[in-house]
Amino acid sequence: MAKLVGVFNTAHTPFCFMPPENWDVVRSARPIRQDVYRDNLDESKAKSARIISAFDQLKARLTEARPHVIVIFGDDQMECFDFNNFPSFAVYVGEEFEGAHSTPEALAHDAFDSVGVAREGAAGAAAATVAAATPINAGPARARIKGHPGLATAILLGLMERGFDPAFCMDMPKPEEGVGHAFMRPAESLTDLHTPIVPILLNCYYAPQVTGMRSYQMGRAIREAIEAYLDDLRVAVLGSGGLWHTPGANGAWLDEDFDRKSLEYMQKGDIKGMAEHFDAYTPPAGDTSQPPSTRGKDQTGMPQLGGPVGGTRETCNWIAASAVADGKPATLIDYVPVYASPIGCGFAYWPEV
pLDDT tens, residue by residue, 52-92: 999 999 999 999 999 999 999 999 999 999 999 999 999 99
Looking at residue 8, its amino acid is: F
In the chain, the DSSP E strands lie at: 3-10, 69-75, 89-92, 96-100, 142-146, 167-169, 197-202, 234-240, 331-338, 343-349
Q: How confident is the model at residue 139 (pLDDT cuts 50, 70, 90)?
A: very low
| Phi, psi (degrees; rounded to nearest 5) at 343 | -155, 145
Q: What is the mean pLDDT of residues 309-314?
A: 93
pLDDT the model gives residue 140: 55
User: What is the rounded CA–CA span in Å between residue 167 and residue 286?
Assistant: 37
93 vs 119, more confident: 93
Q: How confident is the model at residue 312 (pLDDT cuts 50, 70, 90)?
A: very high
Residue 131 has pLDDT above 50, yes or no: no
Residue 123 has pLDDT above 90, yes or no: no
- Closest by CA to 262, choosing from 183, 152, 352, 344, is 344
User: What is the rounded CA–CA span in Å between residue 21 and residue 129?
Assistant: 11
pLDDT the model gives residue 334: 98
Model confidence, pTM = 0.92
Does residue 17 contact residue 73 with C-beta atoms inside 8 Å? no
Geometric angle at alpha carbon 239, from 236 and 242, rounded to 5°: 160
pLDDT the model gives residue 112: 52
pLDDT the model gives residue 132: 45
Residue 351 has pLDDT above 50, yes or no: yes
| Phi-psi region at 193: left, alpha or beta (left = phi > 0; alpha = psi -120 to 50) | left
Chain mean pLDDT for the chain: 90
Give the percent of the chain with pLDDT over 90: 82
CATH 3.40.830.10 applies to domain 3-349? yes
Does residue 39 contact residue 24 with C-beta atoms inside 8 Å? yes
- Closest by CA to 146, choosing from 203, 236, 55, 68, is 68
Q: What is the mean pLDDT of residues 174-194?
A: 94
Does residue 80 contact residue 183 with C-beta atoms inside 8 Å? no
pLDDT the model gives residue 119: 40
Q: How buried is residue 140: exposed, middle or buried, by Cβ count under 10 Å (0-12/13-18/19+)?
A: exposed
Residue 162 has pLDDT above 80, yes or no: yes
pLDDT the model gives residue 15: 92
Residue 163 has pLDDT above 80, yes or no: yes
pLDDT the model gives residue 111: 52
